[in-house]
């Protein structure tokens, strides 16, 4: 791979990251808050294979539930523990 190929690859990766960031349903800071809160709850109480902690955070912070849940599900977050293992991973890789 020559230098121009590396430059094109780097530009493509940056473009993909920007697209992923633009698709975040709420700000980076709010996503961080969501993931930390859900992590603490799952750590304390375990996962019951629902989104109860996620939905509780969304309601408490008056955020757009449908939009957030759609994004989480799109990235593998179908319950609280999957929100942490899948959706948070996607967020970490693209923030």
pLDDT at 66: 98
Q: Is 1's pLDDT higher than 80?
A: no
pTM over 0.95: no
Cite the DSSP H helix spans in the chain.
3-22, 28-45, 52-60, 65-74, 80-82, 88-94
Question: Is 53 within 8 Å of 37 (Cβ atoms)?
Answer: yes
How far CA 29 is from CA of 7, 10, 34, 45, in Å, comes to: 30, 26, 9, 24
Could you report the per-residue pLDDT of 9-44, keeping only the tens digit for each? 989 988 998 999 999 999 999 999 999 999 999 999
Neighbours of 89 (CB within 10 A): 14
């Amino acid at each position: 791979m020559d230098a121009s190929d590396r430059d094109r690859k780097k530009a493509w990766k940056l473009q993909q990251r920007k697209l992923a960031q633009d698709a975040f349903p709420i700000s980076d800071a709010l996503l961080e808050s969501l993931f930390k809160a859900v992590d603490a709850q799952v750590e304390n109480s375990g996962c019951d294979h629902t989104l109860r902690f996620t939905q509780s955070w969304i309601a408490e912070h008056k955020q757009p539930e449908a939009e957030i849940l759609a994004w989480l599900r799109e990235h593998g977050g179908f319950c609280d523990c999957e929100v942490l293992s899948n959706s948070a991973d996607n967020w970490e890789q693209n923030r």
